Structure 1
Amino acid sequence: MFIDIAKVSVKAGKGGNGCVAFRREKYEPMGGPAGGDGGNGGSIILEADEGLRTLMDFRYKRHYQATNGEDGRGKKQFGAHGGNLVLKVPTGTLIKDEESGIVLADLKENGQRYVCARGGRGGKGNTKFKNSIRRTPRFAEPGTKGEEREIILELKLLADIGLIGFPNVGKSTILSQVTSAKPKIANYHFTTLKPNLGVVSIGEGHSYVLADIPGLIEGASEGAGLGHEFLRHVERTKLLLHVIDASGQEDRDPVNDFYRINDELKQYSEKLSVKKQIIVLNKLDLPEAQENLQRIKDEFEVDYEIFEVSAATGQGLDDLKKVAYERLLQVEEEIVFVDENLVESFNERKEKDTILITKEDGYYYGQGEFLERLVDSTNFDDFESFSNFQKVLIDKGVIDKLKELGAKEGDLISICGVEFDFIE
């Protein structure tokens, strides 16, 4: 089964907690701090593998989690890092953030990697908090959480040229004639339920990849029929061979068919509507095609290059594949799906420490990931640890923000569930 889109949940490992410990040796019963740091959590990495053809593996398993880092130990022993989890995907896979829809990476080369969820950082042991004033810190830092997100994996075929057209116009037959691909061929609609690829050889060292993409119906841009499954794979191609049944079988109008398909392309994506197209008039071996030929030419030959072929007899196919190669070399644009500036701003927003100070019904609240980590790392029964907590609140501007909101002596403040009175 050909699966070209999947939604998965990924969760990186949490960083291990730093350790609070002191040296207790034979001749040094009251030694200094000796707590080691926690290990970093494992990350989740996506890697392109040219040996894979579909996203089938992600249909049955949708949740992935890397291992956590180990906690630090006494005698300054660091915790082990959590192992990274590497997930293999086919080359040509896009990685999207499900919530924002931003394309984060395009894995179009074999072996290319992308870290889709970074592991949490290991917390510092109490050894790291020792200084000339604080000689015996009795607190350590907890590990941070690993990233957790929903991502969309979307496979877009790595083809140079795409065959497009309504069902049953002869795309699969053309592919089988000009390449060694052996697609299933029969005279009924939707024979091709998945894209087929073939390599067209022009001569030694000259070739290109041709894709027979499932037939289109009206409403495809809105997901009807094979809709998005069709259009998704057209996006990466550089050139389109638009196959039309010139014979007008099944009471179809070849001219109208051309406009209907291009309308679907435009509705799905403006980029698709401006891709270079070569019109391929197929089934020229039928009498009805000869009757329609001049009318079709009059409509399109001013704006498009037109080739007359018969996939059944092989007529015109040699010229078509050579000219298609020449036109392909003239297309210099590279298909870009990743907006680097958008991704950079997305990552900056995600990585920024969040601190939110609010006032509600006379009470003041402090929330956010940074404050959660600060509360977790504070031993409120230890004077030095609590002093460090207060200093960080001042350094991060939390106290100034509380004053701006009107906090005064004796007001109740809640920082991530820990309550205390505000003191100037």
Structure 2
Amino acid sequence: MYTKEQEKQLIEKTRQLLKISIEDLKTKEDAEKIINDLREVIKYHDWKYYVLANPVISDYEYDKLFHLLVSIEKKYPELITADSPTQRVPSGLIKEFPKVKHLAPMLSLENSYNEEDLRDFDRRVKEITGLDEIEYSVEPKFDGAGIALVYENNLFVRGATRGDGAVGDDITPNLKVIRTIPLSADFEKYGIKTIEIRGEVLINKELFKKINQERLEEGLPLFANPRNAAAGSLRLQNPKEVAKRGLEAFVYQITYTVDENENNLLGTKLKKHSESIKMLYELGFKSPYKEIKVCKNIDEVIDYCNQWQEKRDSYPYEIDGMVVKVNDISLYDTLGATSHHPRWAIAYKFQARQATTKLIDVVFQVGRTGAITPVGKLEPVEIGGVVVSSVSLINEDFIKEKDIRIGDLVLVER
């Protein structure tokens, strides 16, 4: 996003701005001389802290800069801009989340569970395209809450949940408080007027443990997993409370983009998926730029998926697999999509997690049709980031076949 020389200049601007107080700005003209630089350095330090996790100033120094900006805008409200860092957290509560139509459908992904499934996917792609070799991009499959972000003329104008894939809930105020979502980005330098970006809202695994510990101490119910915590946070009516949850957003797919003449840029201006991920990263977004790998064939894809399965536990965020995509965006129209998933991508799901715990009780649930299902109550156990406290025991025959009894140690698989 920044060259070394630009970073050097921004750090120097930071030092100069830290010497200024609101009392030093006697007139509106004095404020106008520094306000753009002030916003620029705050945006830079947000990127260093929230996207790269590599701050170069102290929290105290950042707060001093931010409070100076707040003071200027309070004194001269006509200087406030839509993408000012102060505009992330709105005042007041959100009464409702209006329904909005996505610019492009947010489809699901077809799942694969083994090497044979991936090879079959490769075979189908080659058959449809008529090509002998296909280049793929492979990246982590984030286990969070899906979102779609829309930018118009460089400004973040709308953010929505996935919903049913065609229509989602407008949660723009809650997404604005997430510091890894830029309020503005220089899309114009790529000839982009309007763009819709798909992403995932996540909570770092270590932060999730801390949040649950705090809730435990306060006597509040625990979150089952980071994904549920993220999804629930996005639907809070108070953006100030959302801001306290430490949410992060990764973006991983451009689903729609046009220039000022409404020309589609996917497959023309933006030719490779891996290049679009790099572009988003350089514009200040958190994207899987460092994790993504371009593979020349399906053998490389399988090898990379296996590598990540081995190291998934060391990754700071919950992932439940890898996403394999045809890297050449111009082939997407040729490959097309079903009503459920695109034919140019597939999810490789990691092996299920297992853990042993004790069966402490059995209760019976009556479904809408009157069917009775035995449910085993367990001593809570964490499996792949999820706290499991109950499991379906299917039916009476299953219980008899396995000779399941209260007090047994049971192997639970997620």
| TM-score using structure 1 length | 0.19
Q: Which has the higher contact order (CA 8 A, sep 6+)?
A: 2
How does the TM-score come out when normalised to structure 2?
A: 0.19
Q: Which one has the largest radius of gyration?
A: 1
**Between structures 1 and 2, the one with greater helix share:** 2
